[in-house]
Amino acid sequence: MMWGRAAANAKTLREIQTDYARTFDTPHGRRVLQDILLMWGFFGSKADGSVIEHRDAAIWILDRMGVNHIDNLQEMTDALLRIRRVAPQDETSERDEDEEDAVWEGKPVGS
């Protein structure tokens, strides 16, 4: 792929960002993005090499969407501070299936 050339052309980059945003800004697309972020360790706390590589790929998608950018710092900070804080789970504990279903259905956890 020629992402370097696309990045050199601001119009093309904006078009790519729009395509990524349109892809994920549907109910189905949001579920796919959630799955990618979950499966690629975006929310994980382990820092071994394979997890970091996958996490970097998840961040790359957010970059391509134009979301992960310094211009969004204030909005991202505000969004992070609005999110209900969840205590880290014990590594050995099982995730609550109702909580997992709520995540897949786009509902706030704990409601």
The pLDDT tens digits for 65-107 are: 888 888 989 998 898 888 877 766 655 555 555 555 555 555 5
The boundaries of the domain holding residue 72 are 10-83+98-104
Mean residue pLDDT across the chain: 76
Give domain status of residue 111, yes or no.
Answer: no
Residue 33 amino acid letter: L
Is residue 64 a part of any domain in this protein?
A: yes
pTM: 0.58
Alpha-carbon distances, residue 61 vs 66, 70, 81, 99 (angstroms)? 9, 15, 22, 25
* Spatial separation of the C-alpha atoms in residues 1 and 5, rounded to whole Å: 9
Cα–Cα dist 108/100, whole Å: 10
Is 3 a member of any domain? no
